[in-house]
Chains A and B, each alone.
Chain A
Amino acid sequence: MSTQARGLNNFISDLRNAKSKEEESTRVEVELAKIRQKFNPGDSKLAADGSNPSLSSYQRKKYVWKLAYIHVLGYEVDFGHAEVLSLVRSKKFNEKTVGYVALSLLLRGSDASMGSIVDTIKADLTSSPDPTGKKKKGAVKNDAVQCLALCSLANISGLELIQAMHVEVQHILVSKTSTEQVKKKSALCLLRLTRMSPDLISGREFAPHMRELLRDQHLGVVTSVMSLLIGLASQQPMSYECLIPNVVQILSLLVMKKECAREYMYYHIPSPVLQIKLLKFLQLYPNAIEGHDIGMGGNEHVNQVINVVGRIIFETEVSESINKSNADHAILFEALNLVVVWGTTCPAKLLQGAMGRLGKFISIREPNIRYLGLMVMAKLSQIEGSVEGAKKHQATVIVSLKDADISVRRRALDLLFVICDTDNAERIVDELVAHLIVAEANIREEMVLKIAILAEKYATDLRWYVDTILKLISISGDYVSDSIWHRVVQIVTNHPQGDLQSYAAATLFVAVTPHRCHETTVRIAAYILGEFGFLIAERPGMSGEDQFRVLHQHWFIVDTKTRVILTTAYAKLANLYEECRPLVAPVFSRSKNSSDVEIQQRCVEYSTMREAFSPESIEDLLREMPPFEDKRRSALEVRLMETEGENSAAVTKASTPSEVEQQRALMYAHMVSNQPIGEEMEPIDEEEEEGYMVEEGSANNSTSHGKTRVVVGNKPPNDKKVEDIENEDPNPVVVGIPKDLIPAMRKAFSNLCTSPSGVLFENSLLQVGMKHEYIGAQGRISVFFGNLHSTPLQNFRVKIDQPDHLRMQMQGTQDLLDDDESDSFGCTVATKTQAKLLILVEVAAPFVDAPSLRITFQTKEGEQHDYPLRLPLVVTCFMEPVNLDPGAFIQRWKSLEGPDRECQEVMKLPSSASSGIDEGYMDRIASVVVDGLKFGRCNGVDPTPWTVSGAATFRTGAKDMNGHNINVGCLLRIEANPKANAFRVTTRTLHPLCSQAIKNIVLVSIKLAS
């Protein structure tokens, strides 16, 4: 091997012949040393710019090329800047060319020497083209120099350079005299500059220039300008929104008319690069086609772009040729991305077409298309109503989960994660767990995390969740992070209902019994047995002593972190079981001298506790932990966000609570407020009309009652009423509500349930009117009490019960309110005047009975009046309509099957009461459902006039554990049987009370509509 390199060629040959990486780098070092010596020999004087003037042009170029070569092979080159710059400064085109290429490669914008070259680059940028347009022999073609400078500037783009140059670059971009070459390059160069330093360009001023540039005849210029436009518009979307029609126009010409210069056809496709840029630009405007179906079609480009996207999605023909196929699919995927961005504003036909196309993509063999198909399908599935389409492909996706290619597997995992819901969670999670056994290390962590999230999110039975996590630990324990097992503990602690806690204790007892098990299992078991071990202590072989033994067998092989948890578990066991104390005591006394401070401290404290404190204090100290109050984002979601970035499909999915989670949150809310749920309701009794509305006298015993009194046709026992009133009021002369008023009152109440204002009560003395309006979980109710009598009403008081599920704020005429605290006797309402009451209310949980409103007053004549009424504040006041398409309705309907969720009642109309069920009646019912009950009508599932179906969301102001507002989805179906003169009302919600309450109100409303 020659050590004396002659020319670059020899040098390259040497490198090629190098036997090893070391030999190659040694050779490079030798060459670098030589070049350094040539550039600065030490004896001769350097020029002012630091270059060596004694080098010939030939030599300088040669050595600079060598440096570039070395750099491109991946070696660091940190000298020679002066020589590069002197080449750039050269007037000779050949030297300049070499100089600029080397500048792009070797220097960065941040290099100190950059300052000295600014003027040269600026001069080259602005060198105006030869006005005669003729090429003179020997003369440098000016746009070539401009192009060199632009290209270099784009590649190095340091902040200083940007400041100095951006004005020039903008200028030559819009200049009429710039050649096409220069325009193309300056557009991209400007894009680079604005990306480094946004706000260089004011969108409003620049948009007209962009419009002009988009009209350029040269497709290359248009392509570059589109790149720039995307860059600018993503920084200031509003400023460039006006260009949408122009962009749509260009796209339309390419796609619909295939108008494109021949040299830009790529495998018979009109400039795919440009098409993609146009589609990308449109993705910046998610609302661009909003309202296309309700007469906004007047904007011609809206229909045009929908047609173009439709053409791409439905009519792109895929060919075998790899390059054509890639280009075709590139456009297709970009169009699909646009559909994803449009989301629900997109015509249903396109959404379905998109899903159909993707379904094909994910089942073909070509790996790139399959990979991208899985990716885009995951995005599309997140659009409301689209996940069902994706779920059909579940089996196909599972096949890809087993692909040899990690990229494909990742995408399949992601998609499965996104389409997972209560229906298919068990299947998908089991499939993932099964695959985890054979999965390689690099995807395991991600899988474990996602399985844990899904199992938590969609477990209809939390025992299954506990089982799943234990499986994860046994298969892949090292990847189960602390946050996962902490979550198990949290969930078990927070769900005392059912047998979850004893199940968890028993399961972990079994899991920790073998001598070899994963340390994480030991940790969970120690915690859970410490807390809930007592629940299983009666079972054979699981006594406190046994629990201690199975845990303690691991003591010597686990690390200190686990021992700390074990110590506390032991203390709790010893506290509960006499027989454990002699077993635990020696462990504590041995570990009092542990080198670990935490263990030492715990052992000392636990063993001296008995002497130091009273038995009660010890009980307190070692009591089970209270429920965790965790309003933060789950630690698992945080982890997911770290690995996938905030905007990934998976993160959005993980942070939206599932229906099961919402239900659990509701249970939790109930548990916290100690309100029993699922009370039985007394059936509606058609015969007993009389007792309606007249509640037992005392207002404060309605919700605290074990049995909930329902407003609708629920007659309270009469004797109780008398008794209550007697207890409360010593005055024997009390006038209640006359019986003959009751049917009218019932009607007034029902009416007000579904209308925003009206009269609640009226007799010869008093008129109670009200107005109420609601937004989401909050309402504003005004009640007016008008004196119709000829004399003032004295001691006028109003008492409203405030159940836990309603948070109320009240404000009214002074002394009107009876709040149990003030000892006023109420106010006086003069004749022909009104007392007023304003109630602000927020609902926290579903409820069945309307809050009571009790009015008491005295007439001048000394008559005591006492009217127990009810506020027409019912669960449907807090509904928000949901408009579902038929498929989604039926799917949700099915998913809400079950005795706890469904409530059904058949109501036969009294033959005398109405003229029978006709279509007019059904129309009235439908309008009450929509306008009064605030349900979204789902017409698609009502093929005949004899059914009415609707959906709504019950909004509450209560928060779940993660701080989201709790909402309950409600579905309603009314079926009429005109022959039998009967209705069947079915409601399905996640919450039993909600189902019942809605059903009751619907029944009343139906009767009212007759």
Chain B
Amino acid sequence: MMTDLDHAGTIKSKSAAAACGWNFVVLMSRQGKIRLSEFFSSYTEVQKKRILRDIAADVLPRQAKMCNIIEKGEYKFVYRRYASLYFIVGAPVEMNELIVLEQIHLFVEALDGYFNSVCELDLVFSLHKSLMILFEMFIGGMLCESNKREVLQQIVEAEQMVEQMTKPGEDTSSQLDDGLSFQEQFQLGRKPGARGPRGGR
């Protein structure tokens, strides 16, 4: 249990309904590798390590027919599995669990729209893109926009601005993706949301 959260401490004492954002989100592979992690509330390094360990211990071994919620005292894990990747959200106790599940799904749909059928490899090599989509959708852990077209529109516009800034002849994409060299696959500026949502619960 998180007993001495420094900043989160003030959050947990607030009234039930006040908490409507995620405390953290972690993407973890079935093998326990972290693909992405972002802690919106302030946790110490020790607490973060503890949470990551708990996720590996509590979430990964669960069977498909079990529910997607695990109570952890001050917060709860709400998770969803897509193929071999788990999306685990730390949500305040008062938060509506089912809507967290759908918020995860919205995030996945946005990723899917951007990467055109996202796979784990996309996330591994284009982590910065995932992060930008995450920050575009969630401000301080709270869902900002549930319309994924608008989210992708913003991302694409930002990319276009970078593109426009570059001098002729320069590698356009490299301005954002310096040295990341996976960019050929990104097909910048293509129509977002081309593909529908994918399965998984």
Contacts and interface: CB of A to CB of B under 8 A. Distances in A.
A557 B46 CA distance: 41
A191 B6 CA distance: 18
A235 B71 CA distance: 26
B38 A105 contact: yes
A225 to B, nearest CB: 11
Given A74-B37, A323-B102, A263 B150 contact: yes
Contact of A235 (B15, B98, B142, B182): B15
A325 B178 CA distance: 43
A68 B131 contact: yes
A97 B158 contact: yes
A151 B139 contact: yes
A141 interface: yes
A521 interface: no
A920 interface: no
Interface string A267-291: 0000111101100110110000000
B146 interface: yes
A230 B98 contact: no
Contacts of B105: 323, 326
Given A74-B52, A371-B67, A407-B67, A185 B144 contact: yes
A191 B140 contact: yes
Tell me which of A141, A155, A372 has the highest count of chain B C-beta atoms within 10 A of its own C-beta.
A155
B142 A227 contact: yes
Nearest to B63: A404
Interface string B113-124: 000000000001
A404 B66 contact: yes
B83 interface: no
Contacts of A774: none
Contacts of A109: 7, 42
A326 B20 contact: no
Nearest to B101: A326
A151 B37 contact: no
A16 B124 CA distance: 9
Interface size class of A (residues with CB under 8 A): 35 or more
B146 A93 contact: no
A305 interface: no
A108 interface: yes
A310 to B, nearest CB: 20
A368 B98 contact: yes
Interface string B13-37: 0111110110000000000001011
A322 B38 contact: no
Interface of A: 7-9, 12, 16, 58, 61-62, 65, 68-69, 72-74, 76, 92-94, 97-98, 101, 104-105, 108-110, 137-138, 140-141, 144, 147, 150-151, 154-155, 157, 181, 184-185, 188-189, 191-192, 195-196, 219-220, 223-224, 227, 230-231, 234-235, 263-264, 266, 271-274, 276-277, 280-281, 283-284, 322-323, 326-327, 329-330, 333-334, 365, 367-368, 370-372, 404-408, 410
Given A92-B165, A227-B21, A405-B67, 18 more contacts: A62-B178, A73-B37, A74-B37, A74-B52, A94-B175, A184-B145, A188-B139, A188-B142, A188-B144, A224-B142, A263-B147, A280-B20, A283-B17, A327-B102, A368-B68, A372-B97, A405-B62, A408-B66
Interface of B: 6-7, 10-11, 14-18, 20-21, 34, 36-38, 40, 42, 45, 48-49, 52, 62-63, 65-71, 96-99, 101-103, 105, 124-125, 127-128, 131-132, 135-136, 139-140, 142-147, 149-150, 154, 157-158, 161-162, 164-165, 174-176, 178-182, 197, 201
17 contacts: A9-B179, A62-B179, A93-B158, A94-B162, A94-B175, A154-B140, A188-B142, A189-B139, A195-B10, A220-B145, A220-B146, A234-B14, A273-B102, A330-B102, A368-B67, A404-B63, A408-B67
